[in-house]
Amino acid sequence: MYLDNKIITLNSLYATRLNDNFNSNVVFNFNNILSEDETFTRAYISVMNAQFPNSFYTITSNNNTCYYRYGVIDDNFNVPVGNYNATTLIAELTSYFTGVGRPFTTIIIDTDTGLLTFTAPTNFSFYLCPFNAILGFFRETTLVSFTAPNTISSVGNALTAPFPLNLLGIKQLLVKSSQLAISSFDSKSSGIGDTLACIVNGVASYGLIQYEMTNELNKNLLINPNVSQIDIRITDENDNLINFNNINWTMALCLTVERKEQPERDTPNLIPYVKSLEEPKAEAKAEAKADAKEDPVDAELKLLQS
């Protein structure tokens, strides 16, 4: 058995972007990275390392719409996309509701429990949606199953969220690829997925998320034996494409090809690789040969010194 390892370095700067400045759905066009021949047995793929900017936001276009009722008026609005803490988010909500003439008397957070409390001059309700789950009015799971009531209403013109304010944002980056599909499973779909690596986001906003493979468990059997194009999608834990806000990322893959025997040097898909190795060797030999031709003056000096 012969193992052929190939390092594949990816930089989103040189990819074809399929979702513009989000920069999380890209394609890299290569020339015959992997092709099945008579020596081919199987191939493995692994993410050796990756570097992603934490340039995405806590409140995104996927979770920034607030649906509510104030008195007898049903309405909704979009919170500006960005990073928030409890203080800045409360200020944003206060500004909106006051600006549209539906003010809340107070919006406060209990620093011990993380629970928000709203009070108003009239009765009000919040409807089931991702943003209101962030505020703590609904469980995140109900956004998928819709098994819980879809409305929570004030009592005596006051309402305390049953769950803490959740501004953790994206907790996990999933690196996915259909061309480099492996055998993986996804709890969201309860079926087979196409995730290559799960990377924990443990850095502050605008920091660098770094990942490095630590053991062989991250080497996975590649389903597709013929690869000339690599597609990469980077999503959050809810399968939403991440918005990197035009900042580039890098990644290194290792493609391990298991062969019955070492392929001949004239194997079509190895010719460019072999040539790339032989050309530097030829140049080195030519330089060595030139150095071997001794200058006549140096030869004469050596003769005088003997």
Question: Is the pLDDT score of 303 beyond 90?
Answer: no
Give residue 281's pLDDT: 56
176 within 8 A of 235, measured Cβ to Cβ: yes
Q: Give me the half-sphere count of Cα atoms (radius 13 Å) on the Cβ side of residue 286.
A: 6
**How many Å apart are CA 265 and CA 273, to the nearest integer?**
9
Query: Could you give the strand order of the β-sheet that contains 25-34, starting from the edge strand earlier in sequence?
Result: 16-17, 25-34, 227-235, 172-176, 195-200
Q: In this structure, which CATH number among 2.60.120, 2.40.350, 2.30.30, 3.30.2170 belongs to the domain 2-55+177-259?
A: 2.60.120
Helix intervals (H) in the chain:
86-99, 130-134, 142-145, 271-292, 296-305
**Mean pLDDT, all residues of the chain:** 86
Confidence of residue 124 (pLDDT cuts 50, 70, 90): very high
The backbone torsions φ and ψ at residue 296, rounded to the nearest 5 degrees and listed phi first, read -55, -35
Tens of pLDDT along 39-69? 888 999 999 999 999 999 999 999 999 999 9
Give residue 304's pLDDT: 47
Alpha-carbon Rg for the chain, nearest whole angstrom, is 29
Domain boundaries, the chain: 2-55+177-259, 65-160, 268-305
Tens of pLDDT along 137-178? 998 765 554 445 689 999 999 999 999 999 999 999 999 999
Could you tell me what percent of the chain has a pLDDT over 90? 61
Question: Is the pLDDT score of 295 beyond 80?
Answer: no
* Short-list 92, 66, 59, CA closest to 205: 59
Distance of CA 297 to the CA centre of its chain: 64
Give residue 287's pLDDT: 64
* Short-list 10, 12, 24, 17, CA closest to 235: 24
Distances (CA, A) of 175 to 36, 229, 299, 302: 25, 16, 63, 65
Tracing tokens 């340039």 back to the chain, one arrives at 55
**How many Å apart are CA 258 and CA 266, to the nearest integer?**
18
